Amino acid sequence: MVDVNSLSSSVPTIGRLAVIGLGLIGGSFAKGIRQAGVCAEVVGCDPDPMARRLALPLGVVDRVTDNLAEAVRDADVILLAVPVLAMEKVLAELATLSLGQAVLTDVGSTKGAVVKAVEQAFGQIPPLFVPGHPIAGSEKSGVEAARAELFRRHKVILTPLENTSEQALELVTRLWHCLGADVEAMPLADHDEVLAATSHLPHLLAFSLVDTLAARSENLEIFRYAAGGFRDFTRIAASDPVMWRDVFLANRDAVLRSLDDFTRDLSRLREAVEGRDANTLLGVFTRAKAAREHFSTILARRAYMEPMQTQAINFIAQPGGRVNGSIRVPGDKSISHRSIMLGSLAEGVTEVEGFLEGEDSLATLQAFRDMGVVIEGPHHGRVTINGVGLQGLQAPPGPLYLGNSGTSMRLLAGLLAGQEFDTVLTGDASLSKRPMGRVAKPLREMGAQIETAADGRPPLRITGGSKLMGMDYQMPVASAQVKSCLLLAGLYAGGSTSVTEPAPTRDHTERMLKGFGYPIKVEGAKATIEAGHKLTACKIDVPADISSAAFFMVAASIAEGSDLTLEHVGINPTRVGVINILKAMGGDIELSNEREVGGEPVADIRIRSAKLKGIDIPIDQVPLAIDEFPVLFVAAACAQGRTVLRGAEELRVKESDRIQVMADGLQALGVRAEPTADGIIIDGGPIGGGKVDSHGDHRIAMSFSVASLRATGDIQISDCANVATSFPGFIELARSVGIQVSLEASA
């Protein structure tokens, strides 16, 4: 067999490739391999004289024949590219020939049927057989449609079997790579099931719709009135009929399963149209729109090349500059999450304005859509939630994926512990490392059934139908997420549920419950709630997030000559630690236009540059500035003297270990920063340029962008994709006021 290591894109290293079937796929493969120059001779075989006649002048093959034995003689690789049902006949003939050490592979779109045919023909599966399927095509068919670049940036799925030779697999993989394809291995059964749903079913629907419409109008006049929607939906109905007939016969069972699901859902839609059930229609359409938009994002990121990976995004921040202007940062993340949760559980329609369209709050929104809540938007920060009432959530179709968002997972855990149905909560790599025992433990004490992975990490498996009992809980850590989780569980628990916090934490849940008309008693550090009341829909105006504003407060403070106004910022007293700390450091911060919107205080904040000085950060400010420390450390690095933070061990279990990651980053820029168990000691001084790793933590990435204002060289910040979780549009907004940060997407 061919030495795979000698394969390169320019040197011919396989002697002969035989392509059986010179249609669109076989022809494109042959043409691409020929052009890549990795093969001494490409032989084509096709029974159709026209295909044979065209193949040579079109540059698809070097030689063409209608004789299978002649085509495969001395071939190193044989590619079967005939319709799935014709495969049987070809294979039967191949089995009678001596194939030597030739690697056999195919492009059939249903792998089960092809593998069965191979087994029948050869009496067993030859180890040199590699089943494959390129996910590429066109509504055009025939050798005349063959394109050497058809597979570039497309996925090719190989479904190797237990006895498949590794070398054969490697060779086939490398041939596809020569064509620019992205090769992925998958178990055979999974392949057939997935393709039935995502490819075969849509083709069936397109064929069927066009046929139904064509039958209505004698001379196809009806299509004169069809526009883009029809064209987009039915493009694939012009695909090769024989090939598709074979696909449906070969993948019958998997297709039937998908078709049954679809038929069921279509009947529901029919009933909804008939019964003028606007809510059901809107529910299906909003969910589908969100899913389709997600798919578009995947396509845009070329996830066909990189399936489940987030594209690496790095920032580059150039040194110097000052910050001027008047801006409004995006909506408050904590309030946005809660608006979806309480709006969904309310009776009536809740209108939200200023909603944060970041990935975290969108994860919460999607979770509620998955549980049957009809939510319109977001569109320019407007969201309309058609509340289902406290008992109206439905079992989601699968695990709820919460991305990077700890708030979503912890708050939902409480709310879902009180439902009748089971749920599984999962998240990304960072969230999967974060402690969930802090909510699972007290929830279990209330009677909830929750399983976590080792060490109390996600995923969380919540068994529904448990009878929750209220309790009086003294929180060991000052955490608004734990407090909120238990209060939400309390909506479903017998008796009363009280939570006492060791230090004040953000009280958005308590305020918003009141806003929805739900009684909650707050006495000092203790909040108490009882089940049995209802939430009434209301209007919510989400203020700008003080945690996002914090980056600009520090930016304007440290960059000489700055004067910046931040509009409509939430200044809830449980969130204003950053203002208090900056003022204590000598910051020039002025609040104006103070007012209350929907139960939350807001103000415009003007910040002018100031000479900051190092301080001992008062411990009572820690929970009030818990998310703002990364950027406050940057302020400390620019201050004169030493800043000491204590009592902030919680920072070690945020989206990253924020003490260590900030200390590493600051040190990389030449700042003296010494991490301690529960805080950090920073000596102000010059900031150099350099490389820092944000460890996928949005706030770290933005903090170092701000540091550039006082740096002496470029700061390269890696792994910044998660800035989109809390601050979509950060780069644009930062640049608009004078921070010279830009995006550098790397492969």
Closest approach, Cβ 431 to ligand S3P, in A, equals 12
Q: Closer to ligand S3P at the Cβ: 574 or 718?
A: 574
Q: Does 407 bind ligand S3P (CB under 6 A)?
A: yes
Q: Is 434 annotated as a binding-site member?
A: yes
Q: Which residues contact 22 (CB under 8 A, 6 or more apart)?
A: 30, 44, 45, 46, 48, 51, 52, 55, 60, 61, 64, 81, 143, 146
Question: From the list 317, 480, 682, 706, which residue makes contact with ligand S3P (rule: CB under 6 A)?
Answer: 480
Token pair belonging to 460: 């969380």
Q: Closer to ligand S3P at the Cβ: 488 or 668?
A: 488
Query: Beta partners for 158?
Result: 132, 185
Among the listed residues 602, 493, 501, 594, the one whose alpha carbon sits nearest the alpha carbon of residue 546: 602
Q: Closer to ligand S3P at the Cβ: 86 or 488?
A: 488
Helix ranges restricted to H, 37-131 = 49-55, 68-72, 87-95, 111-122
Which secondary structure element, helix H or strand E, spans residue 539, and what is its range?
strand 539-541
Q: Is 334 annotated as a binding-site member?
A: yes
Q: Is residue 391 classed exposed, middle or buried when 0-12, 13-18 and 19+ CB atoms within 10 A define those classes?
A: exposed
Token pair belonging to 330: 């995006």
Binding flags for ligand S3P, 611-630, as an x/- string (CB under 6 A)? ---------------xx---
Q: Work out whether the CA dihedral 240, 66, 164, 136 comes out positive or negative.
A: negative
Site residues (CB under 6 A) for ligand S3P, limited to 684-743? none
Do residues 442 and 486 make contact, with C-beta atoms less than 8 angstroms apart?
yes
Q: Is residue 397 classed exposed, middle or buried when 0-12, 13-18 and 19+ CB atoms within 10 A define those classes?
A: exposed
Among the listed residues 158, 115, 156, 160, the one whose alpha carbon sits nearest the alpha carbon of residue 136: 156
Taking the C-alpha atoms of residue 690 and residue 667, their distance in angstroms, rounded to an integer, is 10
Q: Does 34 bind ligand S3P (CB under 6 A)?
A: no
Q: Does 548 bind ligand S3P (CB under 6 A)?
A: no
Q: Closer to ligand S3P at the Cβ: 407 or 430?
A: 407
Region binding ligand S3P by CB under 6 A among candidate stretches 190-198, 312-320, 473-481, 522-530: 473-481
**257: helix, coil or strand?**
helix
Site residues (CB under 6 A) for ligand S3P, limited to 644-663? 650
Closest approach, Cβ 627 to ligand S3P, in A, equals 5
Do residues 534 and 294 make contact, with C-beta atoms less than 8 angstroms apart?
no
Closest approach, Cβ 637 to ligand S3P, in A, equals 22
Closest approach, Cβ 407 to ligand S3P, in A, equals 4
Taking the C-alpha atoms of residue 450 and residue 462, their distance in angstroms, rounded to an integer, is 5
Region binding ligand S3P by CB under 6 A among candidate stretches 163-171, 380-388, 480-488, 659-667: 480-488
Closest approach, Cβ 628 to ligand S3P, in A, equals 10
Q: Is 627 annotated as a binding-site member?
A: yes
Question: From the list 154, 200, 506, 698, which residue makes contact with ligand S3P (rule: CB under 6 A)?
Answer: 506
Among the listed residues 183, 180, 152, 161, the one whose alpha carbon sits nearest the alpha carbon of residue 170: 183
Question: From the list 286, 350, 423, 479, which residue makes contact with ligand S3P (rule: CB under 6 A)?
Answer: 479
Question: From the list 481, 656, 694, 705, which residue makes contact with ligand S3P (rule: CB under 6 A)?
Answer: 481
Residue among 627, 693, 697, 719 flagged as catalytic: 627
Closest approach, Cβ 622 to ligand S3P, in A, equals 10
627 noted as active-site residue: yes
Do residues 81 and 25 make contact, with C-beta atoms less than 8 angstroms apart?
yes
Region binding ligand S3P by CB under 6 A among candidate stretches 374-382, 451-459, 475-483, 600-608: 475-483
Q: Is 479 annotated as a binding-site member?
A: yes
Do residues 159 and 189 make contact, with C-beta atoms less than 8 angstroms apart?
no
Q: Closer to ligand S3P at the Cβ: 234 or 407?
A: 407
52, 54, 55, 58: CA torsion to nearest 10? 170
Closest approach, Cβ 117 to ligand S3P, in A, equals 56
Annotated binding site for 3-phosphoshikimate: 333-334, 338, 479, 481, 627, 654
Catalytic site residues? 627
Residues at the contact surface with ligand S3P, assessed by CB under 6 A: 334, 407, 479-481, 484, 506, 626-627, 650
Annotated binding site for phosphoenolpyruvate: 333, 406, 434, 481, 658, 699
